Structure 1
Amino acid sequence: MFSKSNLLATLAGAVVMFFLGYLIWGYAMADYFDQHSIINVMKDPPDMGMIALGNLLGAFIVSTLYSKWARGHHSLGQGFQFGAWIGALLGIAVGLIWYATANFMDLTGHLVSGIMDIIYYGIVGAVIALVYQKTAAKE
């Protein structure tokens, strides 16, 4: 669990999560989600330290799960596929539950957020897989 590959993949994944998350939700899609939000729940300014910590923990969890799932066979495509499944779980499944239980966003906002989560976690999974591939023991 605390192998060199896992720790390096965690660090790479956390950096990608932090900056890609800002690029997607803080910049590229910010206006879109403002239009589909029912109530503004954003902190102004957001707590960047907690965001970084959350990304680090999230990357560690995704990296650890990926290492169990991949069983030593690492590729960008396989990493993207794994991450996309994580994104579908967090984005679509949890998003629909949030839609059913809270007045956060309209249904369209949740569905688009779910699609963005699939892409986001797919890219994170691909980066994690690449690190595992590059740090795997040579035979």
Structure 2
Amino acid sequence: MAATLTMFILGYLIWGMATADFFEQHSLADVMKSDEDMNLGMIFLGNLIGAFAMSSLYGKWARGHHSAGQGFQFGAWIGLFVGVGMGLVWMGTSNMMDTTGHVVEAVIDIVYYGLIGLVIALVYKATASKEAA
């Protein structure tokens, strides 16, 4: 649940507040819903499923060794996949953003998912400590 809440709140702070004007300037098509039309339940559910998937993958990837650095590294790999890998696919198949927007989105995704991975690792570490006691 910690990763879900982090994804939800951090996502809002990054894309809903801090970079909203930037991405508006670099968007080629207006595909965003208005604030009134956004479905927070669906956004939360998407974050819940994403956090569950990342947590499950991290559990296999970490092999019982949990640290903030390792968690950030894990998340950064996910961010590289989403931000660069999928970003290039979206850039090649759609007219959502200009190149600058895609590059900035890729960097943000690497940091964002790195932070989510860090939270997941800290939760795993705290849980492992309790189990060992």
TM-score clears 0.5: yes
- Deviation track 1:6-30 (CA, whole Å, cap 9, x = no partner) reads xxxxx11000000000000000000
Which of these residues, 10, 13, 37, is aligned with residue 3 of structure 2? 13
Alignment of 1:87-126 (within 5 A): 87-126=79-118
Question: Residue in 1 aligned with 2:22?
Answer: 32
> What one-letter code is carried by the residue in structure 2 that aligns with 1:28?
A
Unaligned runs of 5+ in 2: none
Question: Residue in 2 aligned with 1:7?
Answer: none
- Deviation track 1:27-74 (CA, whole Å, cap 9, x = no partner) reads 000000000000110112311110000000000000000000000000
Q: What SS does the corresponding residue of 1:42 show, helix, strand or coil?
A: coil
> What one-letter code is carried by the residue in structure 1 that aligns with 2:116?
V
TM norm structure 2? 0.95
Which of these residues, 59, 62, 70, is aligned with residue 54 of structure 2? 62
Unaligned runs of 5+ in 1: 1-10
Q: Does 1:85 align with 2:77?
A: yes
Deviation, 1:108, is: 1.0
Q: Which runs of 4+ in 1 moved over 3 A?
A: none
Q: Distance in 2 between matches of 1:12 and 1:71?
A: 20
Please report the RMSD computed on the Cα atoms of aligned residues, expressed in angstroms: 0.8
Q: Distance in 2 between matches of 1:132 and 1:37?
A: 38
Q: Distance in 1 between matches of 2:109 and 2:78?
A: 8
Q: What SS does the corresponding residue of 1:19 show, helix, strand or coil?
A: helix
Which of these residues, 39, 43, 62, is aligned with residue 51 of structure 1? 43
Question: Residue in 2 aligned with 1:138?
Answer: 132
> What one-letter code is carried by the residue in structure 2 that aligns with 1:32?
F
TM norm structure 1? 0.91
Question: Residue in 2 aligned with 1:8?
Answer: none
